[in-house]
Amino acid sequence: MKQDPFGQTFTFRLALSKAWLSMGAGWAAMAGAMTAGWPDMTTGTVLQLISLWLLVDPILGTLWALAVEQGLWRHVTQARLTYPARHGFSLPYAQPDSIAGRLVMLVRRYQVWWQQHYWPAYSGYVITFGLGLLLALLMGLALQPTIFWLVVVAIGLTLVAGHYPTTLASSHGGRLPTLVQLLLPWLMGAALWSPLTLFPCILAVCYGAVYLGGLRLLGNHHRAEWLFFGGQIAAIVLLLGLRVLPGAAVLSLSLLATLLLKTHFDQPAHWLAKAQPYLVIAMFTAGISLGVLGIHPQ
């Protein structure tokens, strides 16, 4: 039963991912948080973890989907402007061929295009992006000042990726997604309860290489396997150097499992999908190994 014109102002739709154990921003943030040590499970720490997960996964993920996949701002910069309206924005004493006159004409053309084409088609996306942007900044500021600035960097890189889109098959494919979807969320998690230190950042780079290698495997790049497996080997070497043998053993089993899956499936998309749980477990184990076992430096 419709109740127009009464009701809420905005409507949002939430969609679940196909797999919970998928290597990405949410698990990277949790693994990064574990590098600071296992916290006391009070109400405050649980709320902080939930807030961090919501920040890096659905909120920043939605901003990425709107800016990059939907091309929200790319449509603005590449707009096909129509003939200007007769009335609208104007400047006093602006001559037609002057800089001010051309600015007036450009603004009028954007005004007509916005009203007739862009807003009717993308108004819901624009509102969602604006509210998500505001919520991401407020949540980052509420968690930690360091997390706030990392959120600002993530949003800036998202806008850059949306303005200059690249495919996974291109020479730069996968670089910006790796920064926004794994490296920065990991650093946000590592900064949740303590300042950023060396070993959590090194571990973030290791799994950033794994993530980038996986994306470039999907883009059929040569030597992408070096990144994918090399990042895992580097994480194992780090834990062995820190004498965290149980963690290194779990990471080694994960590496062996991904190698076996690679030999069983031909297409990278198939064996990478099967390898996701092993990658998440290894990533989480590596974070716990630095934190719980006392390797996190003070």
Within-domain flag for 11:
no
Burial class from Cβ neighbours inside 10 Å (0-12, 13-18, 19+) for residue 117 reads middle
Which residues neighbour 193 within 8 Å (Cβ) at sequence distance 6 or greater? Answer: 33, 36, 37, 39, 48
27 — phi, psi (to 5°)? -70, -30
Q: Which pLDDT belongs to residue 296?
A: 43
In this predicted model, which residue has the larger pLDDT, 111 or 195?
195
Q: Which pLDDT belongs to residue 275?
A: 92
Within-domain flag for 12:
no
Q: Which pLDDT belongs to residue 295?
A: 46
Within-domain flag for 94:
yes
Residue range 204-249, pLDDT digits in tens? 999 999 999 999 998 888 888 999 999 999 999 999 999 889 999 9
* Interval 163-174 mean pLDDT: 80
Residue range 72-82, pLDDT digits in tens? 878 777 777 66
Within-domain flag for 296:
no
Please give the mean pLDDT across all residues of the chain. 84
Instruction: Tell me the residue range of the domain where 226 lies.
Output: 25-291
For the cut 60, the answer to whether the pLDDT of residue 262 exceeds it is yes
Within-domain flag for 57:
yes
Residue 13 banded pLDDT, cuts 50, 70, 90:
low
- Cα–Cα distance between 115 and 163 in angstroms, integer? 22
Q: Which pLDDT belongs to residue 294?
A: 54
- Cα–Cα distance between 23 and 208 in angstroms, integer? 11
Name the residue among 148, 150, 129 with its Cα closest to residue 139.
Answer: 148
Q: How far is CA 11 from the centre of its chain?
A: 23
- Cα–Cα distance between 79 and 141 in angstroms, integer? 34
Within-domain flag for 8:
no
For the cut 60, the answer to whether the pLDDT of residue 45 exceeds it is yes
Give the pTM: 0.86
Percent of the chain with pLDDT over 90: 49
Within-domain flag for 20:
no
For the cut 80, the answer to whether the pLDDT of residue 98 exceeds it is no
For the cut 60, the answer to whether the pLDDT of residue 88 exceeds it is no
Residue 4 banded pLDDT, cuts 50, 70, 90:
low
For the cut 50, the answer to whether the pLDDT of residue 1 exceeds it is no
Q: Which pLDDT belongs to residue 235?
A: 95
Q: Which pLDDT belongs to residue 73?
A: 78
Within-domain flag for 216:
yes
Token pair listed for 177: 């997604």
Task: Work out how many domains the chain is built from and give that number.
Answer: 1
Q: Which pLDDT belongs to residue 32?
A: 94
For the cut 60, the answer to whether the pLDDT of residue 92 exceeds it is no
Q: Which pLDDT belongs to residue 145?
A: 95
Token pair listed for 46: 């649980």
Q: Which pLDDT belongs to residue 297?
A: 42
Name the residue among 286, 66, 26, 22 with its Cα closest to residue 181.
Answer: 26
Instruction: Please tell me the least confidently modeled range out of 109-123, 132-146, 189-203.
Output: 109-123
For the cut 90, the answer to whether the pLDDT of residue 266 exceeds it is no
